[in-house]
């Protein structure tokens, strides 16, 4: 086994205990509050956002999007079915969330 594999194995064993998991959570919360970490995350988000914005402006991507839109709009039945599927998916997710929240509120103990 290499050094990296040994380290991974040791970390897996160490963080299998709940108390060590809690220590790591606390550390990560404090780490995320550091100013330079916040700045790094913000910069990474902005860079990623700019990259995607530039990606959709590329000519070959625009051409692919136009071709897809033409194919998609030619088939209204598929478009309607897809929309109905999406609406039903949202309703199911909302019902599931509502059930979880109801269960949480009714089983709340002080």
Rounded Cα distance, 10 and 85, in Å: 46
Please provide the average confidence, as pLDDT, over all residues in the chain: 91
Q: Which stretches of the chain are assigned E, i.e. beta strand?
A: none
Q: Which of left, alpha, beta for 75 (phi over 0: left; psi -120 to 50: alpha)?
A: beta
CA distance 90 to 83: 11
In the predicted structure, residue 1 carries a pLDDT above the cut 80 = no
CA atoms of 70 and 76, how far apart (whole Å): 11
Question: Does the pLDDT of residue 104 top 90, yes or no?
Answer: no
Give a yes or no: residue 14 inside a domain. Answer: no
Give pLDDT, residue 12: 92
- Please give the tally of structural domains in the chain: 1
> Is the pLDDT confidence value at 110 over 60?
no
Domain that holds residue 104: 75-110
Q: Is the pLDDT of residue 39 over 60?
A: yes
Q: Classify residue 98: in a domain, yes or no.
A: yes
pLDDT per position as a tens digit, 56-99: 999 999 999 999 888 888 888 888 898 999 999 999 999 888 88
Q: Is 8 domain-assigned?
A: no
* Confidence (pTM): 0.50
Q: Decide if 108 is inside a domain.
A: yes
Q: Is residue 5 part of a domain?
A: no
Q: Is 45 exposed, middle or buried (0-12, 13-18, 19+ CB in 10 A)?
A: exposed
User: Does position 2 have pLDDT exceeding 60, yes or no?
Assistant: yes
């Amino acid at each position: 086994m290499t050094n990296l594999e040994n380290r991974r194995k040791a970390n897996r064993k160490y963080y299998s205990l709940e108390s060590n998991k809690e220590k790591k959570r606390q550390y990560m919360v404090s780490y995320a509050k550091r100013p330079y970490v916040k700045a790094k995350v913000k910069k990474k988000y902005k860079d990623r956002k700019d990259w995607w914005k530039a990606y959709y402006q590329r000519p070959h991507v625009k051409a692919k999007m136009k071709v897809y839109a033409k194919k998609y709009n030619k088939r209204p039945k598929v478009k309607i079915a897809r929309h109905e599927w999406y609406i039903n998916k949202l309703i199911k997710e909302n019902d599931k969330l509502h059930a979880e929240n109801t269960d949480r509120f009714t089983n709340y103990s002080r």
